[in-house]
Amino acid sequence: MKNIGLHLISFLLLCMVTSDSNSQTQVSPQLTGPDFHSYANVADVRVKHIDLDWQVLFAQKVLKGTAILTVERVSRNTRAPLILDTKNLNVEKVETSVNGRTYRPGKFTLATEDKILGSALTILLPVGATRVRIHYATRPNASGVQWLDPSQTSGKKTPFMFTQSQAIHARSWIPLQDTPSVRVTYNARVRTAPNLLAVMSAANDPNTPRDGDYSFAMSQPIPSYLIALAVGDLSFKPLSQRTGVYAEPSVVDRAAQEFSDTEKMVQATERLYGPYRWERYDMLVLPPSFPFGGMENPRLTFLTPTIIAGDKSLVSLVAHELAHSWSGNLVTNATWRDFWLNEGFTVYLERRIQEAVYGKPRANMEAALGLRDLQDELGRLEDRDEILHVDLKGRDPDDGFTDVPYEKGALFLLHLEQTFGRERFDQFLRSYFDHFAFKSITTEEFLSYLKANLLDKHPDLAAKVPIDEWINNAGTPASAPKPSSPAFAQVELLAQRWQRGEVPVAQIPVTAWSTQEWLHFLKSLPEKLDQKKMAELDQAFKLTQSGNSEIAFQWLMMSLQNAYEPAFQRVEDFLSTIGRRKFIKPLYEELAKSPEGRAFAMKIYRRARPTYHPIAVATIDEVLKWNG
Ligand code: BES
Ligand code: ZN
């Protein structure tokens, strides 16, 4: 019933515009929920398949072409229009088709832009319409696309572009129902310069001829946030029959070396949670401006080059993105408030994969680092943001990107594992992935499955896990597990003793340390260290010059906290070449704490800003209160 008013408004608005005109209206449709981040009227009409056809116009930084949406009415409301999400798109023309072959001019309205959600595109669907064809172009500042000049690539000769759709940026390059509760299959044709290769989150043939005209098919239904495209001078190197890596030619060998355990990881995950269902698992290493560590685009994980450390020490990120092939891509969060179903499960799986491939000590270290990050984060967050089933109504879903869905989510699953025992819990998870395969689910649906398939079968054990507290309260329950690592206890002791002057640097047994032990060592030192102590560490261990991005980042943070000047140049270089938000946000935040620091930050940012991804720009603009 509540939709009638909405449809009446849409209908009246549509009557006011003539065919194929692009008219702005003042009214955005109401958000009918349950997804507060999409205007799509999914209870009436659902998009099932998308055919895409683009030209990649590097000179203009524009993708231009058509999207044909195959739609299905799912309610009796035959008047309901099709409401899509768009953000910053130039919609040129809309056509509709009944038979799927011939198209007639269609009527549409584009609502005024909401800063977070973009503009609803309302299209009148004639009786019996099955397809809608939208002729459109993106704008150079599309939030989900980064266009790189040749100078921002490793080869320096050709431009590069890539998309990042999660959470709600698919709408900035494709008009669609941009909610993870809807799944679509897609085909795409991409035309670009013949010296460039296009790849997508779909079937990619590693041997495709390089001719500038590429076709893709994703035959398994996926949510919109997993649609992805990248175009650049890419080479491919196989790692196994079904895994491989794409990267710029000068990076691909190092990447293949670093990720050579990928097939082992896939097999370990299959043993735990059932077959890998996406055929190939390839990875694409992006230029360093990629704003995330990784993105689990199906069949083609996108990765930051900053995890190529030379010693495989940061490949838990590959385990993480691979794990999403089960938790996230197969069983998907239905809305962004259920994000912890994607990330908490994935961090839990990631650690299980690490354990299977690299052993328990390594997995324990990573869990202990995770717990520490969570505790630090909980110290900073407001209560409302500490809740797994977080309320994001009216907010940018990117605000939900904290350690809470990741580490608190994983800790909750670890609590279940430890309470019910590995065997039972593994079996439960395996059946969960099968049961909800290719579906999008809410937290409530997970909870009722959990109750029926685990809790109710063992009420005595269930009584030990405060489920409601885990899901709906801030903080962590008193009974939460506390992952720890014996190796870390040693490292902590040394950190204390060195700091008190009881052990000289030369006697710290660093040669045997893993990256994780290094990180724990640095994090175990007090926030304030004097110049002498900083210099002592730096001279002994060359930390300012560390080639490991995680260690360098941790050291640079300490250097800013302690005004350790010899590291300032490296801070500038780091911020000028890397755009990974996890690193640059805390560094800019730290700089912004003092007037001199802030001035230094502004100087760096002025030059670096044009090289950052729009998502990182939005974040850092806010940190520095940037206004031009
Ligand atoms: N799916 C996320 C990345 C993401 C989440 C992008 C939300 C946009 C919105 C990806 O799987 C991820 O979690 N990446 C992490 C790495 C991970 C090891 C914690 C990252 O990029 O830091
Ligand atoms: Zn993830």
pLDDT in tens, 346-358: 999 999 999 999 9
- Answer yes or no: is pLDDT of 442 > 80: yes
- Answer yes or no: is pLDDT of 11 > 50: no
Phi/psi of residue 457, nearest 5 degrees: -80, -20
Ligand 1, atom 22: closest residue by C-alpha = 293
Mean predicted confidence (pLDDT) in 101-109: 97
Spell out which residues line ligand 1, taking CB within 6 angstroms: 166-167, 292-296, 317, 320-321, 324, 343, 401, 406, 582
CA of 181 to the centre of ligand 2 (A): 18
Mean predicted confidence (pLDDT) in 485-499: 97
- Answer yes or no: is pLDDT of 8 > 60: no
592/598 Cα distance (integer angstroms): 4
CA of 453 to the centre of ligand 1 (A): 29
Per-residue pLDDT tens digits for 507-558: 999 999 999 999 999 999 999 999 999 999 999 999 999 999 999 999 999 9
Residues in the chain: 628
Radius of gyration, alpha carbons of the chain: 25
Ligand 1, atom 6: closest residue by C-alpha = 166
- Answer yes or no: is pLDDT of 248 > 80: yes
- Rounded to the nearest 10 degrees, the angle between the axes of helix 581-591 and helix 549-561 is 10
CA of 531 to the centre of ligand 1 (A): 35
- Answer yes or no: is pLDDT of 12 > 50: no
Q: What band does 19 get if pLDDT is binned at 50, 70 and 90? A: very low
- Answer yes or no: is pLDDT of 400 > 80: yes
Ligand 1, atom 17: closest residue by C-alpha = 317
Q: What band does 302 get if pLDDT is binned at 50, 70 and 90? A: very high
Cα distances (Å, whole numbers) of residue 467 to 2, 204, 390, 450, 600: 34, 42, 15, 10, 47
- Answer yes or no: is pLDDT of 334 > 60: yes
For residues 557 and 590, is the Cβ–Cβ distance under 8 A?
A: yes
Paired strand residues for 331: 327, 439
- Answer yes or no: is pLDDT of 21 > 70: no
Per DSSP, helices labelled H in 500-594 are 515-524, 531-541, 549-561, 568-577, 581-591
388/391 Cα distance (integer angstroms): 9
Mean predicted confidence (pLDDT) in 170-184: 98
Mean predicted confidence (pLDDT) in 456-466: 98
Structure-derived torsion over alpha carbons of residues 192, 194, 197, 199, reported in degrees to the nearest 10: 40
227, 318, 343, best to mutate for ligand 1 pocket (most atoms within 8 Å of CB): 343
**Helices and strands in the chain: count of H runs, count of E runs:** 20, 22
**pLDDT of the residue at 398:** 85
CA of 349 to the centre of ligand 1 (A): 14
**pLDDT of the residue at 26:** 58
Mean predicted confidence (pLDDT) in 274-290: 98
pTM: 0.96
For residues 42 and 112, is the Cβ–Cβ distance under 8 A?
A: no
Per-residue pLDDT tens digits for 202-245: 999 999 999 999 999 999 999 999 999 999 999 999 999 999 99
- Answer yes or no: is pLDDT of 20 > 80: no
Sign of CA dihedral 288, 291, 294, 299: negative
Ligand 1, atom 11: closest residue by C-alpha = 295
519/499 Cα distance (integer angstroms): 16
Q: How far apart are the first and last CA of the chain?
A: 47
Residue linked to tokens 């080479």: 235
For residues 38 and 29, is the Cβ–Cβ distance under 8 A?
A: no
- Average pLDDT in the chain: 95
- Answer yes or no: is pLDDT of 299 > 80: yes
143, 292, 404, best to mutate for ligand 1 pocket (most atoms within 8 Å of CB): 292
Per-residue pLDDT tens digits for 565-574: 999 999 999 9
Phi/psi of residue 27, nearest 5 degrees: -100, 125
**pLDDT of the residue at 211:** 97
b/e burial code for range 544-571 (CB count within 10 A of at least 16 → b): bebebbbbbbbbbbbbbebebeebbebb
Cα within 13 Å of Cα(507), Cβ side: 10
Phi/psi of residue 375, nearest 5 degrees: -60, -40
Residue linked to tokens 């891509």: 329
Phi/psi of residue 209, nearest 5 degrees: -65, 140
User: Which ligand 1 atom sits nearest the alpha carbon of residue 293?
Assistant: 21
Where in the sequence numbering do the catalytic residues fall?
Answer: 321, 406
286, 295, 549, best to mutate for ligand 1 pocket (most atoms within 8 Å of CB): 295
Amino acid, res. 519: L
User: Which ligand 1 atom sits nearest the alpha carbon of residue 343?
Assistant: 13
64/138 Cα distance (integer angstroms): 7
**pLDDT of the residue at 92:** 98
Residue 404 is encoded by which pair of tokens? 């809470």
Residue 263 is encoded by which pair of tokens? 């097939």
User: Which ligand 1 atom sits nearest the alpha carbon of residue 317?
Assistant: 18
CA of 307 to the centre of ligand 2 (A): 15
Which residues lie below 8 Å from residue 427, measured CB to CB, with a gap of 6+? none
Stretch (H or E) spanning 622: helix 614-624
For residues 285 and 251, is the Cβ–Cβ distance under 8 A?
A: yes
Residue 535 is encoded by which pair of tokens? 């210099």
Per-residue pLDDT tens digits for 253-280: 999 999 999 999 999 999 999 999 999 9
Helix (H, G, I), strand (E, B) or coil at 371: helix
